[in-house]
Amino acid sequence: MERCNEILTCKRCGHRWRPRTSMPIKCPKCSRRSWNELKPKRSVAKYNILPGDRFGKLTVLSEAPPKHNSRFFHCRCECGNSTVTSSRDLWHGFAKSCGCLRAEKFADSRRTHGKSNEPIYKTWIAMKQRCFNNSHPNYKYYGGRGISICKEWFTFENFYNWAVENGYQDGLTIERKNNDGDYCPENCTWIPKSKQQQNTRKTIRVKINGIHFRSLKEAAKYYNVNYNIVCIRRSKGWSISKALGL
């Protein structure tokens, strides 16, 4: 066996001796059998790490007390948190943040388009509900009449790209040019909600003195009559002309 030139110290009895081989088995005085406690203490690994050095999102502030024969450093993360990391993890890239980077990557992996809380996504969901959900209150006006959605718009990203390219803004609603046609790029546009309300199947078209009005509200505005008063009069059974004061 190879002869060992190092002097070992037993942690139990403090006896010091030079072993005959490089693989000491037990202390010759107390016979403690423990290689971990008999082997010489290793020197702390030294990496060229200085305060101010950056490793990913971490900035080294100062050196912390060593642990398990390894150097440790106080670091500040870009998110504002502080952490203590070993020199080995910093030097070899195992530690790049306080843990926030892992959380961000996990969130990115779970995120699809990131627009689930925006109005346009709710518009897309409502459009599908009207056409495909037979329990929806307005299904009879859409899916029940055979109105569907083109296959291209089954994916939200495609619908969103079309909307942005065709003038979508918050506050606008989707409108079909042909009321009996499907939801598709050729048959849809964006209009204000107030204008769309005039194009629904429930809207009362009015013709008075040869003038066509798209809604009762438009007629009330034309004759300078409060629309709410007109609605109250109509609920009492008044004719449209009488409700408008004509």
Residues 132 and 147 placed together within one structural domain of the fold: yes
Distance from C-alpha of 46 to C-alpha of 87, rounded to nearest angstrom: 8
Of residues 233 and 46, more confidence is placed in: 233
d(CA 207, CA 36): 100
pLDDT band at 27 (very low <50, low <70, confident <90, very high): confident
Q: Are residues 26 and 68 in the same domain?
A: no
What range does the domain containing 67 cover?
54-108
- pLDDT computed for residue 238 by the predictor: 81
Are 143 and 180 found together in one domain? Answer: yes
Domain assignment present for residue 95? The answer is yes
Tokens of 173: 């609603």
Residue 97 lies in a domain: yes
Does an H or E element contain 86, and which? Answer: strand 82-86
Residues 36, 72, single domain; the answer is no
Report how far residue 224's alpha carbon sits from residue 53's, in angstroms, rounded to the nearest whole number.
Answer: 74
Q: Give pLDDT, residue 199.
A: 53
Q: From CA 67, how far away is CA 49, in angstroms rounded?
A: 16
Is there a single domain that holds both residue 124 and residue 188? yes
Lowest-confidence region among 33-37, 129-133, 162-166, 206-210: 33-37
Q: Is residue 60 a contact partner of residue 48, using CB atoms and an 8 Å limit?
A: no
Question: Of the ranges 40-49, 160-169, 179-188, which one carries the lowest mean pLDDT score?
Answer: 40-49
Residue 59 lies in a domain: yes
Exposed/middle/buried for residue 185 (C-beta within 10 Å: 0-12, 13-18, 19+) = middle
Percent of the chain whose predicted confidence (pLDDT) is above 90:
14
- For residues 126 and 184, membership in a common domain is answered with yes
Using left for φ > 0, alpha for ψ between -120 and 50, and beta otherwise, residue 99 falls in: left
126 closest CA partner among 113, 112, 142 = 142
SS3 of residue 230 by DSSP: helix
Confidence of residue 47 (pLDDT cuts 50, 70, 90): confident
Per-residue pLDDT tens over the stretch 55-70: 988 999 998 998 888 8
Same structural domain for residues 195 and 213? no
> 48 lies in a domain?
no
* Structure token digits, residue 112: 């699809």
In a domain, 164, yes or no: yes
Are 141 and 193 in a shared domain?
A: yes
C-alpha span between 232 and 245 (Å, rounded):
13
**46 belongs to a structural domain:** no
Asked if residue 189 belongs to a domain, the reply is yes
Q: How far apart are CA 162 and CA 186, in angstroms?
A: 11
How many Cβ atoms sit within 10 Å of the Cβ of residue 37? 13
Examine the domain organization and report whether 125 and 150 are in the same domain. yes
Specify whether 85 is located in the same domain as 137: no
Domain count, the chain: 4
Q: How far is CA 82 from CA 93, 107, 157, in A?
A: 17, 22, 39
* Tens digit of each residue's pLDDT (9 = 90 or more) over 62-114: 989 988 888 899 999 998 899 999 988 888 888 888 888 887 777 666 666 66
Any domain includes 114: no
- What whole-number distance in Å separates Cα of residue 92 and Cα of residue 95? 8
